[in-house]
Every structure is written in structure tokens, then in C-alpha cells.
Amino acid sequence: MNLTAQDLARYPRPGTAAPAKIAFAPDGRRLTFLFSEAGGLERALWELDLAGGERRVLVSARGVDALSRDDELRRERQRLRETGVTHYAWAQEAAVLLVTQGGDAIVDGQVLARGVVDPQLSRDGQLLAFVRDSELWADGRRLTFDAEPGLTNGLADYVAQEEMHRASSFWIAPDGRHIAFEQADERHVPVYPIVHQGKAQVEVEEHRYPFAGAANPKVRLGVVPVAGGPVVWMDLGDGSEYLARVDWAPDGRLFVQTQSRDQRRLELRAFDAATGIGQTLLVEESPLWVNLHDMLRFRDDGTFLWASERSGFRNLYLYREDACLRALTAVDWPVDELLRVTPTEVWFAGHGGRPTERHIWRLSLAGGAPERMSDAAGWHEAVVSPDGADWVDVHQSRAQAVTVTLRGRQAQVIHAPDAVVDLPAPEHFSFTSRDGETLWAALYRPEQLPAPLLVSVYGGPQAQTVQDSWLQTVDLRAQWLAQKGFLVVKVDGRGSARRGLAFEGALAERLGDIELRDQVDGVRHLQDRGLVDGDRVGIYGWSYGGYLTLMGLCRAPEVFKAGVAGAPVTDWDGYDTHYTERYLRTPVANPDGYRASSVLTHAQQLAGRLLLIHGMLDENVHFRHSARLMDGLDRLGKRYELMVLPNERHTPRDPAVLAAEEERLAAFFVQHLSLRGSAGA
């Protein structure tokens, strides 16, 4: 397939339009999922009868009015491109179905509320709760009354959504009679304005953005009766800690995870919802940081499952109150996700020793070693039925587009991809860095070698770019550049995910150093193999990848001759508290680390060619980052190229803008790495 810039601007990628958000109905006899029969982004809600095999559309996709600002920003936090039906959920204990579409909450086909945020059902399906105008509502009754600009009830603040991956901020009790909710007070956090410069009308957004070292929102956790009445506030201290996770236990207590601001300590506390008095059950501490997870599960016998990286890798443990009964897993690779807990077994996901893969495992609670349930090499996601007898295997690999198969008591293919693009799978290999670390890489080869090399980089923590997945094969930018004669490589250096806490923690207190060295070692490895045409090496990336692109150009100019940096952080004092302070501490506690980790510190060393790309509406990595760098480069007499996206946020979405961006990037590398040919299709 000969790719064009328009192909690169089109979503979803070929072979990836498969059933998503798959769920078993409470009776276990049906599956529901979101799917676009046309293979596009607009998805409908489907149902599959497992016994008869019939499938039908439950809720069709429909056009909706323009998104509210809250919905637009929540989609940014979730990196969501899809439209139509974007969310649905079954009540846990009843065949009641909630669908969210365009701000409407639809229960069993009836619109029960409009203009709402984060609608949720009680376990029995009899109660609908949601947030409207920053206040908490349930059963059509308003439960909170004190919201104002900067003070919200039931809404997750920015860092909770973006960095703690907690989209919800209220939790319905198991009996449906009370709701716990977060009150976030950001009134003391300075407003950061974002001006819509690309529109005819004047529009200014105001965001409360907590910069590294500065004030965080103050949070409270309250419990309010659904029937109405006073709020009981849990005793969380002075509100300076992060409210990380909240779960109702079957006995009516609130299990709350709080994290210290330096993120080296996490406490799991159990609160009496009637009095607000809590008891600490366990504490996790680390000299690096404590990563958050979603693996707390309660069992009917009063025990609960917990995950910890105390061994160096995330393993599962069984607890009763404040006593650890035993380790359930003792593996030297991380548990990625806890999929299902039944009375007798645990289902979870993890790579099993080869970090480019992901597999599904089943473990008996009676003891013994985990049993691998997924057989084919590659990347597996799974949804397990409530009784554990059936499971859905969502499988992909570099050679296989996304397939969905029902396994267990009965087997059937739910989705098999149609004919997909004819693109070569990237080559996977490992090599040893100068420090003796084994690093994994993916390679996209052009027709002729040796060739100019482009490093496609993210390089930051909590991410992995080298996976045995179809998404690797349909990385259309890498494939397009390979078609133009470039050799393209991705390297997962230290700091990246799924290799354990020590591997991730190698970049602690200084960013842009060790992870850059690992990228350079990847370049040297390919040069030693004779695959690279001399010193014609470029680098490109977005967000943290944009930051590392700049650090490569400034700190390793002898290696990288040209780079394209998209939406880069340029100085970490301009990024948010929870992410930045996890790795660098605060600017006061680690001034040398901030100075060494700033692109602005090293800008004088820039020698290669640079193209900066940034959206002016970016509310995550503000355009201010690129503006500060441009000012510094201008004062140093350094020349650069610039592509401003006036109406785009951190994730550009307009297909025309995306196509223009891809053409500009390819043309830049063709010109500055002296590759024959043109940047057109």
C-alpha cells in the first residue's frame, strides 16, 4: 500500500475498528460492545446473544450538538477520538443499562437526564446519579448546593483525571442510599488563560492549573444521603494529600487511598461513613514513588485483594483488615491489570517474561502457579464473565489485526478483520546498552539500506512503544517514512513501563539524561550493524517525545542532525504537580535536577535543524512551553522552523490539520537529511 498524508490523517487505523468496551450482561448470557459497522469513529451499542449467536444494535449512533467544554476536556483527558455512543454501563446486579450520548443519560432506552457529566447507576439499577453545573444530583434531586467558580462537587480535578487516571469523583454506596463525593476547591489556584487565536470571535478559556511546586487543589471527601440531608466529611486531615482512589466495601465502609504530595507514601484507610472517622489498614512506601493502581477487590469472606510493587514488580496480595495473609503472585514481571475475582480464582494480565507481549492468566485462590490462558503470541486484552467460566479474548500482533473471540464453555469468533492494508510488520530486536541493560526496539526498514535513520521517540515513564501489536504495524507515520527511504526505529529505554520499578525509576530526580542515553545507544547499535547511512540521523516525538527530541538536539548534537518536536515540555516548572513532582520532586527540593532537566538550560548547544509543532489550545502542555523556547533560541541566534496549530489541543483532531502536519514533517526530514525525493504523496 502506497501511503499518503491523507491516510495518516484518517482514524481509526486499518484493522483496528473492532468491538470495544466489551461487557458481559449481568446474566452472563449476552455480550454488549461499542462498534462501528462502517469501520469509522461513530460507534453504536451492540448486543450479542451468546447462545443463539444473533447480534443487534441496541442504541444507534446519532448526531449530537457541539460538545460542552466539560465534555470536550474530559475527552482530551481520555484521549478519546470516537463519537456516537461513547460510554455505557450495566448495573452490577440487574439487567439495567445506562448509555451516555452527547451529554444525555439514557436508561433502558429512555432519556432520564440531559446536560450531565459522568452519569452512574446504583448496583440494583434503581438510582441514577450525575453531576450538573458542578453539583451532585441523584434521582432528579440536587444533593449539594455550594458550587461556584473554582469549587466543584463530584467532579475530578485536572490532575486527578490527567495524571491519576481517575475520571470519576463520586461513588454510590452498595445499598444505593448514600453517595460519597469529592469536593475540589481550586479557588486559590491561579487561573491560566488560553486564548482562541484562530477564531473570528474572541474567546478565552480559564483553567486552574497547578504548576510544579505551586498550590494544589484542596480536596474533601463527603458522604451525603440520597434522600437529602447534611454531608458527613471524612477526616482526611488538612486536604493537602492527593485523594487517589475511593471504593465502597460490602460492609458499608469507605476504603480511601491517599497519597502524600511527594508520592513516596500511600495509605489505605477504612472510614466509617456515618462518623467520618478512619483507620489506616496498610501503608505503601518507596524511596522512588508509589504508582497508583486499580486492583483493590473485595471478597465475600471479608478479605480483599491488593497490589504492591514492594518486591520491585507489581504483585497481588491477599489481606484481611490490616494483615497481609499471603502473596498470591510472586513473579518477576508486573501484573498489568486485575481482570476478575471469583470465589475460587483470579484472572489478571501480564507479559510473563517477554515485555513486548501481554497475556491472560488464571490463578487458583487455593494456591499454585498462574496458568497462562492466552496461547497466541502478541497482545491480549480480556473480559471475563462474572463466574469466570467464559472470557473474551481480544488479540492482536504485528502480523494479525484485532480479532475478538469468545472462549470458555463455548467458542465463537465475534469479530475477524476484513482485508487490511498490505504493510510489512516492523522487526523486533533487543540490544544491550552501555550500562548493561537489555532494551527492546522496533525497526521499520526501507527498500534500500543503509539509509538515513529516524528515531521515533516517546521515552518517558508510564509508556511503552515497542509492543507485539497490530498498532505497531499500522503506525502509518513510521511506515510512510520508511516508504520514503528512511530507516525508523523505536527504543523503549529506561523509564518506560512494564519492566519493574527499578527500571522505571532510573530517571528519578533528573529527566532527559538516562532515557536520552538509551536512545543514543539504539542509534549506535544500528550504526554498528551497518544499517545507517553515515551520520544522517533525525528524531521526532510528541509531548514527552517532543521534550526528548529537543534534549537530543541540544545534548547530543553530534548524533541528531534534525528533529521534529511536537507539543514539547521545555521547562518542568511549567508542567503540573502530580506528574512532575513524582519524578523531579519540587523545584525547591531539587533545583539542580530542574535546571539540568530543562531544555532551556541546554539550548545554547542546539546545532541541528529543528521544527516545532504546537497547538495553541493545548491545555496539557501549554503553548507557553514552545513560546519560552522560541524566545530563548531567538536571543541565542538559533534558527528553527515553526508550525502553529491555532485550533488544536494536545491531541490534534482535524483531518486537514493532521494531513498538513504529516506533509510538513516528511518534507522537513527529506530536506534536512538530504534524502532524494519529495515530501508529497
Question: In the predicted model, is pLDDT for residue 62 greater than 80?
Answer: no
Rounded Cα–Cα distance for residues 615 and 652 (Å):
7
> Is residue 678 in a domain?
no
Give which of 370, 326, 364 is closest to 352, Cα–Cα.
370
The grid cell for 191 is 487561573
Q: Looking up cell 518542568, which residue turns up? A: 572
pTM given for the model: 0.96
Q: In this structure, is residue 626 part of a structural domain?
A: yes
Chain segment 12-42, per-residue pLDDT in tens:
999 999 999 999 999 889 999 999 999 999 9
Residue 290 lies in a domain: no
- Classify the C-alpha dihedral 272-275-276-281 as positive or negative: negative
Residue 534 placed within a domain: yes
The grid cell for 285 is 512506601
Cα(85)–Cα(80) distance, rounded to whole angstroms? 12
pLDDT of residue 677: 44
Task: Flag whether pLDDT at 508 surpasses 70.
Answer: yes
Sheet of 297-298, strand order:
297-298, 304-308, 315-320, 323-327
Residues 6 or more apart whose Cβ sits within 8 Å of residue 621: 543, 546, 567, 568, 569, 575, 614, 650
Alpha-carbon span 120 to 467, nearest angstrom = 34
pLDDT of residue 542: 98
Grid cell listed for 366: 487455593
Q: CA 144, 147, 150: angle at the middle one, nearest 5?
A: 150
| CATH number of the domain within which 660 lies | 3.40.50.1820
SS (H, E, C) 375-437: CCCCEEEEEECCCCCEEEEEEEECCEEEEEEEEECCCEEEECCCCCCCCCCCEEEEEECCCCC
Active site residues per annotation: 543, 618, 650
Tens-digit pLDDT profile for residues 624-652? 999 999 999 999 999 999 999 999 999 99
- The amino acid occupying position 665 is L
Pairwise CA distance, residues 124 & 174, whole Å: 9
- pLDDT tens-place string over residues 654-679: 999 999 999 999 999 999 997 654 44
> For 70, left (φ over 0), alpha (ψ -120 to 50), or beta?
alpha
Distance of CA 655 to the CA centre of its chain: 22
* pLDDT band per the 50, 70, 90 thresholds, residue 63: low
Residue 597, domain member (yes or no): yes
Residue 105: inside a domain: no
- C-alpha–C-alpha distance, residues 533 and 51, integer Å: 59
Whether the CB-CB separation of 426 and 473 falls below 8 Å is answered with yes
Q: What is the pLDDT of residues 98-149, one digit of tens each?
A: 999 888 999 999 999 999 999 999 999 999 999 999 999 999 999 999 999 9
Q: In whole angstroms, give the CA distance from residue 254 to residue 182.
A: 13
The Cα 423–Cα 107 span in angstroms is 43
Question: In this predicted structure, what is the pLDDT of residue 66?
Answer: 64
Residue 2 lies in a domain: no
Q: Where are the beta strands (DSSP E) in 114-217?
A: 117-121, 128-132, 135-138, 141-142, 151-153, 170-172, 178-185, 191-195, 204-208
Residue 485 pLDDT: 97
Query: Among residues 504, 491, 376, 483, which one has the least CA distance to residue 424?
Result: 483
pLDDT at res. 503 = 97
159 close to 216: Cβ distance less than 8 angstroms: yes
Q: How far, in Å, CA of 268 to CA of 308, rounded?
A: 12
Give the integer Cα–Cα distance in Å for 65 and 6. 26
- Partners of residue 521 on adjacent β-strands: none
Query: Is 45 within 8 Å of 58 (Cβ atoms)?
Result: yes
Q: Give the least confident one: 314-323, 347-356, 669-678.
A: 669-678
Q: How far apart are CA 91 and CA 125, in angstroms?
A: 5
Look at the chain and count its residues. 681
Per the CB < 8 A criterion, the answer to whether 3 and 480 are in contact is yes
- The residues, ordered by sequence, that sit 6+ positions from 292 with a Cβ below 8 Å of its Cβ are 164, 165, 244, 245, 257, 259, 266
Convert 82-98 to b/e letters by CB count within 10 Å (16 or more is b). Answer: bbbbbbbbbbeeeebbb
Using CA atoms, how far apart are residues 598 and 587, in angstroms rounded to an integer? 12
> Mean pLDDT, the chain, as a whole number?
95
Name the burial class of residue 518, with classes exposed (0-12), middle (13-18) and buried (19+) by CB atoms within 10 angstroms of its CB.
Answer: buried
**C-alpha span between 567 and 651 (Å, rounded):** 9
Element (H, E) at 525: helix 514-528
Nearest to 512 by CA among 478, 539, 475: 539
| Category of 664 on φ-ψ map: left (φ > 0), alpha (ψ -120 to 50) or beta | alpha
DSSP lists the bridge partners of residue 406 as: 392, 412
pLDDT for position 61: 85
Query: What 3-state class would DSSP assign to 656?
Result: helix
Residue 459 CA to residue 558 CA, distance in Å, equals: 19
Reduce the DSSP state of residue 640 to 3 states and report it.
coil
Whether 360 is covered by a domain: the verdict is no
Q: Domain residues for 532?
A: 437-672
Which of 65-69, 189-193, 425-429, 584-588 comes out lowest in average pLDDT? 65-69
Estimate the share of the chain in helix, then strand, then coil, as percent rounded to the nearest 5. 20, 35, 45
* Number of domains composing the chain: 1
* Spatial contact of 403 and 43, defined as CB atoms under 8 Å apart: no
Report pLDDT for 675.
Answer: 65
What pLDDT score does 680 carry?
39
Straight-line distance from the first to the last Cα atom of the chain, in angstroms, rounded to the nearest whole number: 12
Helix, strand or coil, per DSSP, at residue 524: helix
Reported confidence tier of residue 191, pLDDT bands at 50, 70, 90: very high
Is residue 537 scored above 50 in pLDDT? yes
Q: How far is CA 373 from the centre of its chain?
A: 26
| Residue 409: Cβ-neighbour burial (10 angstroms; 0-12, 13-18, 19+) | exposed
Query: Model confidence over 415-473: pLDDT tens digits?
Result: 998 877 899 999 999 999 999 999 999 999 999 999 999 999 999 999 999 999 999 99
Instruction: Tell me the percentage of the chain whose pLDDT exceeds 90.
Output: 91
